[in-house]
Structure 1
């Protein structure tokens, strides 16, 4: 008797950390059901593309990867999951090769749905109205291949409805993961060797608003007690979450990384108002001052959008000035992209593409100068680095991150994947620091 060939499944993930978590959870379900996981560039029986729709680029890349999968094996079951699948199932199901569209629900049944699709003569679309979903889809994970940090999704959905954003329509209303489930999940990850967890969600600041007697801060304090867990990193936060009391309590938790990603979007109050963001630049600056007053050398990173409809030269200059005033340690810059179905897509005074490009370039340049300036203060000092992998460009080096989220490369002849080592930080190179491991 020859061996029964295992069916092969390959994954491609676009977009955010929440999608990375969802992919890992789906991947583990296939594994438990006896499937073999292969690289996306290889021949597979099933390809799962976890799509993104934050920008037009996300849509386009999602379609490209779907076509690539079909080209690699025209007989394969091609599955589209995630946000683009949720918001435009009709567009996706018309792409040749797509056999299953599942959006942002029913992912915990992906293996059964794929098996249904195998015996169905026409494509299956199980996407329905996400706005009616009220419970968190609890998908456990045990590990991340090749990673030392585990991304842990604790929250789903968003109720903010910023005027530019499609995500509330793609992910539905807020749902929080049961705190006991989170605690057990972190313990499992720590037992499997992970030393750092990144708490993530679509809008994690609203964690617990749909549950009784808990919130994000209590959840953090709860998992802080788990032995063997050395670092807790937080995903993107709204400035309104970081009140004086919250900052005081967070500053007393040594495992919480001194790195806060606080979404800004614009440094102009007029723009923020049109975006329907629920804070002013003054409130934002106060939060950052409070963090810096309580947490030494805290890293403050952010997202900023350029070219939002109606953004004048003066408003853009306000953003530049605000960025300099706050002195972020890293800025993720992206250009406004009109999303069908959002209010801003129909706003007057859409900004031309060449202006978005110019503004993006200028802001990226400012951001890189600030990043370098921030890194300088760490030179000549020793910090703990959690090493994640061998450097692809320089195999004699291992790379990892400090608690402040500074990327560090250090020469090492042994495999230190997943280990925390003290490193003397010596020299800035591009967007990382070269260091020497201290014995």
Structure 2
């Protein structure tokens, strides 16, 4: 084992991957070394809670790591990510699976990690951190491993939705959009490192707004950077497609921007969408995607679908099947509903 070393194990979405890069950069700049898991003094598990299957997988992983790390007195487990924060008492669930851990941190504690590690090294255990400060993660410059060509930049955290199936909103909280000048500076710094693709990420990129700047304004500032690169916009709520079509078209017309649309439709049944508290109609989706495809024939579409939502009938399911047959998305993520 190498003193002052760490390993990060990441689960879940692109936002989680961005968080792991931020953690990595903070620790490296504080004198820590990133190593393989077996050699690490600190093992950071960046968890995900989007599906029950993923939750169960992580709980089993934590249990296995606990049993393994009991053999060592100077190896420590740090639990990060969404899972500890999906309900107020979820830490009790974690303690059942991993009776002894070094720390649980929330999504705004990253800057405090070196200080937390110092406390752990002198004997502190089972620390639980809940930050009272909401940080701007785009302020933290990310260092990428040599040879990496794709950089991930968070532009906001949280969402404005109230979807009945989603627990991530409890972990990520209310919408917090980051300063565009910080985002652009972070993108520029990554491009100087040799990054050739930049992914903008958040729980919903479409609702970005800061000091009068909307998503299109932010994207325009990024593509104006004098570097050779491509830009991909992350997940966009279907409501943006319907209500902000002109803004979306203006983004796709910009040079360097991938004509890539990740739009999680979730169901082809208006009745199920209503139960999900998704605020759009399938007819609106069809109409606006048809417009986009005519303007941008090379458009790549990615969508997410939930099957087996409570109350879904065979008719509702077939409506979804018919939508997918019409949409023919290049990428489709299908999930079985889990409570």
- For the criterion TM > 0.5, the same-fold answer is yes
CA distance in 1, matches of 2:30, 2:65: 22
- Whether the 8 Å CA contact 1:194–1:229 is kept in 2: the answer is no
Q: How big is the shift at 1:105?
A: 2.0
Structure 2 partner of 1:396: none
Aligned match for 1:52, one of 43, 48, 53 = 48
Matched, 1:161 2:162: yes
Q: How big is the shift at 1:69?
A: 3.2
For these two proteins, the number of residue pairs brought into alignment is 329
Aligned match for 1:69, one of 62, 65, 73 = 65
The DSSP-based 3-state class of the residue aligned with 1:271 is: helix
User: How has the CA–CA distance of structure 1 residues 145 and 109 changed in structure 2, closer, same or farther, with 3 Å as cutoff?
Assistant: farther
Q: How big is the shift at 1:260?
A: 0.8
Q: How does 1:27-426 map to 2 (within 5 A)?
A: 27-40=24-37, 42-74=38-70, 75=73, 76-87=75-86, 88-94=90-96, 95-127=98-130, 135-137=135-137, 138-144=139-145, 147-208=148-209, 211-242=210-241, 243-338=244-339
RMSD: 1.9
CA distance in 2, matches of 1:135, 1:98: 25
- Whether the 8 Å CA contact 1:144–1:150 is kept in 2: the answer is no
User: How has the CA–CA distance of structure 1 residues 134 and 127 changed in structure 2, closer, same or farther, with 3 Å as cutoff?
Assistant: closer
CA distance in 2, matches of 1:229, 1:175: 30
- Whether the 8 Å CA contact 1:48–1:78 is kept in 2: the answer is yes
- Whether the 8 Å CA contact 1:19–1:82 is kept in 2: the answer is yes
Q: How big is the shift at 1:227?
A: 1.4
User: How has the CA–CA distance of structure 1 residues 321 and 103 changed in structure 2, closer, same or farther, with 3 Å as cutoff?
Assistant: same
- Whether the 8 Å CA contact 1:84–1:103 is kept in 2: the answer is no
Structure 2 partner of 1:408: none
Q: How big is the shift at 1:127?
A: 3.0
Q: How big is the shift at 1:145?
A: 5.7
Structure 2 partner of 1:348: none
User: How has the CA–CA distance of structure 1 residues 318 and 145 changed in structure 2, closer, same or farther, with 3 Å as cutoff?
Assistant: farther
- Whether the 8 Å CA contact 1:80–1:102 is kept in 2: the answer is yes
- Whether the 8 Å CA contact 1:92–1:98 is kept in 2: the answer is no
Structure with the bigger percentage of strand: 1
TM-score when normalising by structure 2:
0.91
The DSSP-based 3-state class of the residue aligned with 1:98 is: coil
CA distance in 2, matches of 1:158, 1:118: 37
CA distance in 2, matches of 1:157, 1:9: 28
Deviations 1:356-387 (CA, angstroms, capped at 9, x unpaired): xxxxxxxxxxxxxxxxxxxxxxxxxxxxxxxx
Greater displacement, 91-100 / 268-277? 91-100
Q: Which runs of 5+ in 2 are unaligned?
A: none
Matched, 1:23 2:20: yes
User: How has the CA–CA distance of structure 1 residues 60 and 170 changed in structure 2, closer, same or farther, with 3 Å as cutoff?
Assistant: same
Deviations 1:386-438 (CA, angstroms, capped at 9, x unpaired): xxxxxxxxxxxxxxxxxxxxxxxxxxxxxxxxxxxxxxxxxxxxxxxxxxxxx
Structure with the bigger percentage of helix: 2
TM-score when normalising by structure 1:
0.71
The DSSP-based 3-state class of the residue aligned with 1:141 is: coil
Larger gyration radius, structure 1 or structure 2: 1
CA distance in 1, matches of 2:42, 2:134: 30
- Whether the 8 Å CA contact 1:247–1:294 is kept in 2: the answer is no
Q: Which runs of 5+ in 1 are unaligned?
A: 339-439
